[in-house]
Chains A and B, each alone.
Chain A
Amino acid sequence: MTMGFLNIEFLVASAVGLLTAAGIYLILRRRTFPVILGLSLLTYGVNIFLFATGRLMVDAPPVLNKYAEVPYTDPLPQALVLTAIVISFGMTAVVVMIALAAYLSARDDKIDMPHHPEDEGEDA
């Protein structure tokens, strides 16, 4: 399945790289919304990465065939990535809820904690 440099390894590797880079850029932002988006991008990146750890095979089933010598792909990373997807989905839901609670209660979605109201007079 090679088409010049546009083979599947190149595409998957650059997808992981792009998602991770974008994710890291976003989690360095100051407000919770981009940070959560960045976390999601990072988890997508890591999921694709995990999927590729069993080597990339095209058109191969993840089962052994006992009647014929046919190519097969490693099924374990698929199980791992399924677990990782479920966990990251749940975690994203949790962080959205907590961030929403923080925003509604503080009326502010900055990720860093403001000084304690009582301190502000002293600090200024």
Chain B
Amino acid sequence: MDAATFRELLVKEFNLADLPIDEQTEYVDQIGELVLQGVLIKSLAALDNDQASQLETFIDSGKEAEEVLEFLRSAIPGFTDLVHDEIKAVQADLAASMGQE
């Protein structure tokens, strides 16, 4: 799934199509941040202590977000699956909290 597909999915799922583009973008960005946050939490849970300390050193050395993601991708082979599962989980949580289930 790419960013455009993700956006289309959210617009369809939460009926955002009627909203102005700016508002759509704002909502999509917020949900995207939710997904990113969830991915980070669960990725860090998947790492063992050594990897976690390595990642900490990696971040402390001033690495950028892309490099941190690369680190996670290399440390967690199922990272792409994790991202997809997190998208579904966030989608389910939002749907449940809005009474759409």
Chains A and B belong together in one complex: no
List residues of chain B with CB under 8 Å of any chain A CB.
none
List residues of chain A with CB under 8 Å of any chain B CB.
none
